[in-house]
Chain A
Amino acid sequence: MLEPRISKYLHDKATKQNIPINGTLELTARCNFNCPMCYVHLSAEEQKRRGRELTGEEWIDIAEQAKKAGTVFLLLTGGEPTVHPDFVKIYERLSEMGFYMSMNSNGRLLEGDLLELFKRKPPERLNITLYAIDNDGYRKQCGVPAYDQVVRNIRALREAGIFVRVNLTITPANQEEMAELVAKGKELGAVILGTTYIWPQIRVNEAAVGASFRPSAEEAGRAMAVYDSLRMPHEDFLIRARQLAAGIPQKSPSAEDCAIGMPMLCRAGRATYWIDWQGNMTACALMPIPSVSVLSGGFNEAWQQLHRDISEIRLPPECASCEYRRICNPCAAKCYTETGSFHQKPDYVCRYTMSFLEAMREAVEQEQNG
């Protein structure tokens, strides 16, 4: 999806000036669904064992500090953010502060008083994940037969004029229904964003390096090509497939200089940050380290420390000179969650990318052969 020009301009400027312009507040790790591939979800008991969920007042205080530090774009997420006991209070206060606020949700509770709240104080965007195409599919994937409820809520939000993006996470449980999922997302009148790449669950279980409820890299890579063919008009898909099949950007000219690996090149820790349910600031959702508590020294100190820490990170040297780098985007989070190290090449991601490209080349050949 194209990023609006003003947003790109502000993010680029913030990245150069080290301003935390874009943040995510993970209000809770709890959720009213129980999806097997989730990288955050903890049961109430497990969350309590690990620590304390922040109060509404604490989140509001953090948001005020973030605003002073320059945050404009703010995403609320979880777990399921609406299950936080102070969600309404947090949302109301933050929506008055002058943020461009969006929210991730499974959509289950976005009705009644919450629907009225969003009508009164609309977010810039609601990202709602659609997990299956019927109640039975939801029960298998999420543990709750909530399809009818979620679709009804999305329709009501759309009727109220609220911008909804439907997220699709393609897993072994719903892979067969991908075409129907994409069609339903489009029918709901929403922008859709899908992926077949499932992140390893090391935040839930430290031992889950490179592991989640997901298909093989080859299967997931090929599924991504199928997803591309479903989400875009056929002509556009063929253009994309031809471009990918024709060859990828040349090797990086500075490859020889990258024996120790490239630094992080994304905005994480340079213009964007994530604050987890315990008040720890990290560079993004998936990187458990580096992590700095916002509660002890305040937002600014945490941001400065995080920025220093991520500057030390170097990515795998072999990725720096790989001709497929711009397609697979071997970011620090992928390296760490897939291998347990920032320096090691994420093999699952390599195989995923190669299978995706192979499927795209096949699509071009099929077209050429009529």
Chain B
Amino acid sequence: MNIKREFVLREIAGDLLLVPTGKTALDLNGMLTLNDVGADIWKMLPEVKDEEEIVQRLLKDYEATADEIRPDVSAFLGKLRELGIL
């Protein structure tokens, strides 16, 4: 999946932050914080082709069912699309 904007993922004092770089810093004046699952999804975005692949990958690492995971993944990706990031 294609990330349209430039970010650097940073871990600071136990928080995971997406810091905008390049022109993204102009468009998005702020920073995004992620939880652990959000950070895992973020790291796999360039390697996956669709939402379902993310769900399948998360199933290997988290004790939850696909039906439990799917709505959260969907909501997270929806938020990224809303911000023009994905």
Binding site for B on A (CB under 8 A): 4, 6, 10, 13-14, 17, 19, 21, 67, 70, 72, 95-100, 120-124, 161-163
Q: Which residues of A contact B12 (CB under 8 A)?
A: 10, 14, 19, 21, 70, 72
B22 engages A13 (CB within 8 Å): no
Question: A97 and B13 in contact (CB under 8 A), knowing A72-B19, A122-B23, A163-B29?
Answer: no
B26 engages A161 (CB within 8 Å): yes
B8 engages A98 (CB within 8 Å): yes
- For the complex of A and B, the 6 pairs showing the least CB-CB separation, nearest first, are A98-B8, A98-B19, A13-B13, A122-B26, A122-B25, A161-B26
Q: Give the CA-CA distance A6 to B34 in the complex, in Å.
A: 13
B26 engages A162 (CB within 8 Å): yes
Q: A64 → chain B, closest Cβ, in Å?
A: 13
Q: Give the CA-CA distance A14 to B61 in the complex, in Å.
A: 30
Q: A122 → chain B, closest Cβ, in Å?
A: 5
Q: B33 → chain A, closest Cβ, in Å?
A: 7
Residue of A nearest to B33 (CB): A6
Number of A-B contacts (CB under 8 A): 55
Binding site for A on B (CB under 8 A): 7-10, 12-15, 17, 19, 21-23, 25-26, 29-31, 33
B21 engages A95 (CB within 8 Å): yes
Question: A72 and B29 in contact (CB under 8 A), knowing A10-B12, A122-B23?
Answer: no
A21 engages B22 (CB within 8 Å): no
Q: Give the CA-CA distance A72 to B15 in the complex, in Å.
A: 12
Q: Give the CA-CA distance A255 to B31 in the complex, in Å.
A: 40
Q: B83 → chain A, closest Cβ, in Å?
A: 15
Q: A336 → chain B, closest Cβ, in Å?
A: 29
Residue of B nearest to A99 (CB): B19
A98 engages B21 (CB within 8 Å): yes
Q: Give the CA-CA distance A124 to B9 in the complex, in Å.
A: 17
B22 engages A120 (CB within 8 Å): yes
A121 engages B21 (CB within 8 Å): yes
Q: Which listed residue (B19, B25, B30) contacts A4, Cβ 8 A?
A: B30
Q: Which of A14, A17, A21, A98: most chain B Cβ within 10 A?
A: A98
Q: Give the CA-CA distance A120 to B15 in the complex, in Å.
A: 28
Residue of B nearest to A15 (CB): B13
Q: B85 → chain A, closest Cβ, in Å?
A: 15
Q: Which residues of B contact A70 (CB under 8 A)?
A: 12-13
Q: Give the CA-CA distance A118 to B17 in the complex, in Å.
A: 23
Q: A209 → chain B, closest Cβ, in Å?
A: 37
Question: A21 and B21 in contact (CB under 8 A), knowing A4-B30, A6-B31, A122-B26?
Answer: no
Q: A11 → chain B, closest Cβ, in Å?
A: 10
Q: Which residues of B contact A10 (CB under 8 A)?
A: 12-13, 15
Q: Which residues of B contact A120 (CB under 8 A)?
A: 22-23
Q: Give the CA-CA distance A124 to B22 in the complex, in Å.
A: 10
Q: A96 → chain B, closest Cβ, in Å?
A: 6
Question: A100 and B31 in contact (CB under 8 A), knowing A95-B21, A121-B22, A162-B26?
Answer: yes
B17 engages A72 (CB within 8 Å): yes
Q: Which residues of B contact A161 (CB under 8 A)?
A: 26
Q: Which residues of A contact B19 (CB under 8 A)?
A: 72, 98-100
| Pairs A–B under 8 Å by Cβ, sample size 26 | A6-B30, A6-B31, A6-B33, A10-B13, A13-B14, A13-B15, A14-B13, A19-B12, A19-B13, A70-B12, A70-B13, A72-B10, A72-B12, A96-B22, A97-B21, A98-B8, A98-B9, A98-B10, A120-B22, A120-B23, A121-B23, A121-B25, A122-B25, A122-B26, A161-B26, A162-B26
Q: Which listed residue (A4, A72, A96) contacts B21, Cβ 8 A?
A: A96
Q: A76 → chain B, closest Cβ, in Å?
A: 15
Q: B34 → chain A, closest Cβ, in Å?
A: 13
- Given A72-B17, A72-B19, A96-B8: 20 more A-B contacts, CB < 8 Å: A6-B30, A10-B13, A13-B14, A14-B12, A17-B13, A19-B12, A67-B10, A70-B12, A72-B10, A95-B21, A97-B8, A97-B21, A98-B8, A98-B21, A121-B21, A121-B23, A121-B25, A122-B25, A124-B25, A163-B29
